[in-house]
Amino acid sequence: MRYFIELSYNGTAFHGWQIQPNANSVQETIEKALSLLLRETIQIVGAGRTDTGVHAKFMIAHFDTDVTFSTDNLQYKLNSLLKAPIAIYSIYNVKEDAHARFSAEKRAYEYRVITRKNPFEINSAYLVKQLIDIDKMNRAAALLFNYKNFKCFSKSNTDVKTYNCDLFRAEWIQESEHLLVFHIAANRFLRNMVRAIVGTLLEVGIGKLEVEAIDRILKSENRSEAGYSVPAKGLYLTEVTYPENIFIDE
């Protein structure tokens, strides 16, 4: 049977989601705990592969097993066993063809920028000391909707079949006097795409780039034309949505 896990994690202590040699990953940490509790080797697949230091307020992963268990009990035991900064919110049965990554219809991220030094945000937001014009950044962000190809914001030498993404949201919100949050949602994201978009928009916000430069950058399809990639610590996966037909009615 196939199960979905709803979870969140603070990415500071991890070298990203995906298992890699000699590095602490979220995927491996959960797999080890599940395998111990279910007494068989369990492999999980996540909705995305967050990079080193990136956080997830909401993540979905799936795993397969024929072991019989109480989902509520397994959730409780997982949370008790996991000493790492990972929280398991729910475990539930889904249809056999449901896939945490390939069945997802939309993913959403937010990026947090602080404009005043804050010791409580040191590992969770990016400090920008220059004055930022949020109106200019939102005008620049609106231009993103005119395009499908986001190759200019993708990490170089990324092995993908297409650089096209359907964008649903791209907006800066002033959440408090010293906190700006960029919200972005799409059907899929390229590697490093959000961090490169944020870095480019911040260059508009501080006056290094003009709003209209976004058009030139996107048309170039060249990563070197876009702005810098902001640090991973301010980035959060916040939402993953799926079609209703993959769920099993209880």
Per residue in 22-59, pLDDT (tens digit) is 899 999 999 999 999 999 999 999 999 899 999 999 99
The CATH code of the domain at 2-102 is: 3.30.70.580
| Structure-token pair, residue 178 | 């010293």
Q: Can you give the pLDDT at residue 83?
A: 83
Does residue 156 surpass a pLDDT of 70? yes
Where in the chain are the domains?
2-102, 107-238
174, 138 contact by CB (below 8 A): no
**Domain at 107-238: CATH code:** 3.30.70.660
51 an active-site residue? yes
Residue 172, classified by CB atoms within 10 Å of its CB into exposed (0-12), middle (13-18) or buried (19+), is buried
Instruction: Flag whether pLDDT at 125 surpasses 80.
Output: yes
Is pLDDT above 80 for 228? Answer: yes
- pLDDT, tens digit, 9 for 90 and up, residues 83-122: 889 999 999 999 999 999 999 999 999 999 999 999 999 8
Whole-prediction pTM: 0.94
Q: Do domains 2-102 and 107-238 have the same CATH topology?
A: yes
Percent of the chain with pLDDT over 90: 92
